[in-house]
Amino acid sequence: MPQAVTCIRDASWIIAWDVSRGEHVYRRDGDVAWADDRLVQVGGHYGGTVTREISGRDRLVMPGLIDIHCHPTQTPIFKGFVEEYGNPRLFFSGRQHFRQSFIQDSAAQYASARYGLAEMLAAGTTTIVDLSHAYPGWLDLLSQSGLRVWVGPMFRSARWWTDTGQEIKYDFAPDLGRAAFAEAVSVMAEAERHPSGRFSAMVAPAQVDTCTPELLIDSVRLAKDTGRPLFTHAAQSYAEFNGMARRHDMTSVAWLHSLDFLGERTILGHAVFTDEHPWMQWPTREDIELLAKTGTTVAHCPTVFARDGTLLHHLGAYMDAGVNIAIGTDTHPQNMLEEIRLAETLARVAAGTRHTTSTARLFHAATIGAAKLLGRDDIGRLAEGAKADIVLFDLARPEMQPLRDPLRTIVHSAAERAISDVFVDGHQVVGEGRVLTIDWPQAARALAAEQKRIGDGVADLDAIAPLSLPMLAS
Ligand SMILES: [Zn+2]
């Protein structure tokens, strides 16, 4: 079958990957063309036969973003409930109360994910790592979305909760961990066999503190045997750090290292509470160096932490030490451009005048940093031979004016509002700002109905999660 060739003709701006410099660069007034799923021209003039031509006038062409850490089954349905818990007792006890009361069934998970996948596409994300507990219809929904996906079915040995917010309690049931591991093994294999060809798998023991050492060790072995990347949540809370220190007399990061968990294909969400964090009463300063030395990636998702009044200290120090950073959303909104903006702003807040981050470093993290962990040199960049995962911005939109430096304007001002079109694997998934693969307005109505259905079954919901303003009688 002849190849379908699409060409964006004379794009005003291109964020191209310069192979020799090893960085993203601007190019002006050139073509971006792809045959089927692969780019054949980035910049300059494409002289080959074209099946579809798109005017690049007043357009910026950018590589699609990679959301390295998201939970679409959970986060969109929590909208309006969880944003303002803060951390009155240093840990998310208020949110925990909500999570123990607002229990989703698989219909609610599905509605949340369907909304969330559309939300990510509309915001210029083309690849995601979907960390979910397996649910019916998962792969079919991902396939329908058109996204490129690393499927990470999470498993763990213990249920956890907190009464005081100071200490995490666990109900270890290793057999359940085994059963969930077995299920994850089969879901991962199914994802890799999927005819869409856009799915890969990630080995995802859910949290460092909820898995038995045996389960973590088996996860390391599975990842090594299959070549899949390896993930866990670790160093993500004050209480987790202290609990792991009591359990093992080591930091969470050091303990994972002792299990051979760290490495070039390993990613930790979120490595905030390392021995570098100023709250930690711990004598060493070794965790960041350990992450750098082993080539471990950190999934940095600042919004969810900032809502609790916490932040990573500090991103520039991690980067300067050589830690590979990738960016994820972890909560709603699942908007990578807003997450990049907050990551850059908070890195400056945490570092003060010694800050060393920049828009370019954060954009690199959200594209190349993520691709490195995923073991791919053909995503997160616009270069000949790379996948046609592409985002177009309409530069004529008022949000994009004045236009001295479009990436800065996108990250610090416009975010996704000027996105006109998105392509994944050469296929169009967003056109004229509208998601084409999922009926997002309909998905939003379905999600609202599911949120109401689950919420109606929770006694005292307004006491658990009060409204932001008092409600008076009409
Ligand atoms: Zn997470």
Question: pTM score, two decimals?
Answer: 0.97
- What does the pLDDT read at residue 174? 86
Alpha-carbon gap, residue 324 to 87, rounded angstroms: 29
Q: Separation of 351 CA from ligand 1 center, angstroms?
A: 24
- What does the pLDDT read at residue 434? 98
Q: Separation of 264 CA from ligand 1 center, angstroms?
A: 20
- What does the pLDDT read at residue 89? 54
- Closest to 314 measured CA to CA, from 284, 341, 353, 283: 353
The domain spans of the chain are 5-63+382-435, 65-374
Q: Separation of 399 CA from ligand 1 center, angstroms?
A: 31
With vertex at residue 319, the alpha carbon angle to CA 219 and CA 363, rounded to the nearest 5 degrees, is: 90
Q: Separation of 329 CA from ligand 1 center, angstroms?
A: 8
Please check whether residue 156 is in contact with residue 184, taking contact to mean a CB–CB distance below 8 angstroms. Answer: no
Distances (CA, A) of 389 to 5, 121, 219, 299, 392: 14, 11, 30, 21, 10
Strands 419-424 and 427-431: antiparallel
Residue where the block lists tokens 């220190």: 245
Q: Separation of 269 CA from ligand 1 center, angstroms?
A: 6
Q: Separation of 69 CA from ligand 1 center, angstroms?
A: 6
Q: Separation of 32 CA from ligand 1 center, angstroms?
A: 35
- What does the pLDDT read at residue 93? 59
The DSSP element (H or E) to which 409 belongs, if any, is helix 406-409
Residue where the block lists tokens 């994972």: 256
Q: Separation of 70 CA from ligand 1 center, angstroms?
A: 6
Residues 6+ apart with CB under 8 A from 84: 307, 468
Please check whether residue 132 is in contact with residue 109, taking contact to mean a CB–CB distance below 8 angstroms. Answer: yes
Cis amide linkage into residue 333, ω under 30° from 0 = yes
Using only the alpha carbons of the chain, give its radius of gyration: 22
DSSP state, residue 470: P
Q: What is the pLDDT along the chain (474 residues), one digit of tens a residue?
A: 678 999 999 999 999 999 999 999 999 999 999 999 999 999 999 999 999 999 999 999 999 999 999 999 999 999 999 888 766 554 555 677 788 889 999 999 999 999 999 999 999 999 999 999 989 999 999 999 999 999 999 999 998 887 777 788 899 998 899 999 999 999 999 999 999 999 999 999 999 999 999 999 999 999 999 999 999 999 999 889 999 999 999 999 999 999 999 999 999 999 999 999 999 989 999 999 999 999 999 999 999 999 988 899 999 999 999 999 999 999 999 999 999 999 999 999 999 988 899 999 999 999 999 999 999 999 999 999 999 999 999 999 999 999 999 999 999 999 999 999 999 999 999 999 999 999 999 999 999 999 999 999 999 888 888 899 999 998
Tell how far CA 256 is from the center of its chain. Answer: 22
Helix, coil or strand: residue 149? strand
Among 1.10.287.3510, 3.30.70.20, 2.30.40.10, 1.20.120.850, name the CATH number for the domain at 5-63+382-435: 2.30.40.10
Residue where the block lists tokens 């996108």: 410
Distances (CA, A) of 388 to 36, 127, 204, 362, 402: 8, 12, 28, 22, 29
DSSP state, residue 203: B
Q: Separation of 440 CA from ligand 1 center, angstroms?
A: 24
DSSP state, residue 43: S
Q: Separation of 284 CA from ligand 1 center, angstroms?
A: 26
- What does the pLDDT read at residue 99? 81
Q: Separation of 387 CA from ligand 1 center, angstroms?
A: 27
Q: Separation of 71 CA from ligand 1 center, angstroms?
A: 7
Alpha-carbon gap, residue 310 to 306, rounded angstroms: 5
Burial class (CB in 10 A: 0-12, 13-18, 19+), 163: exposed
Please check whether residue 292 is in contact with residue 323, taking contact to mean a CB–CB distance below 8 angstroms. Answer: yes
Q: Separation of 207 CA from ligand 1 center, angstroms?
A: 9
- Closest to 393 measured CA to CA, from 369, 413, 367: 413
Q: Separation of 153 CA from ligand 1 center, angstroms?
A: 12
Q: Separation of 76 CA from ligand 1 center, angstroms?
A: 13
Q: Separation of 130 CA from ligand 1 center, angstroms?
A: 10
Q: Separation of 268 CA from ligand 1 center, angstroms?
A: 10
Cis amide linkage into residue 71, ω under 30° from 0 = no
- What does the pLDDT read at residue 82? 87
Q: Separation of 335 CA from ligand 1 center, angstroms?
A: 15
Q: Separation of 206 CA from ligand 1 center, angstroms?
A: 9
Residue where the block lists tokens 């994009």: 400
Q: Separation of 201 CA from ligand 1 center, angstroms?
A: 17
Q: What share of the chain is helix, strand, coil (3-state, %, to 5)?
A: 40, 25, 40
Q: Separation of 235 CA from ligand 1 center, angstroms?
A: 12
Q: Separation of 287 CA from ligand 1 center, angstroms?
A: 20
Q: Separation of 277 CA from ligand 1 center, angstroms?
A: 19
Q: Separation of 233 CA from ligand 1 center, angstroms?
A: 7
Alpha-carbon gap, residue 157 to 35, rounded angstroms: 46
Q: Separation of 434 CA from ligand 1 center, angstroms?
A: 28
- Please measure the distance between the N-terminal and C-terminal CA atoms of the chain and give it in whole angstroms: 65
Fold topology of 65-374: TIM Barrel (3.20.20)
The DSSP element (H or E) to which 456 belongs, if any, is helix 440-456
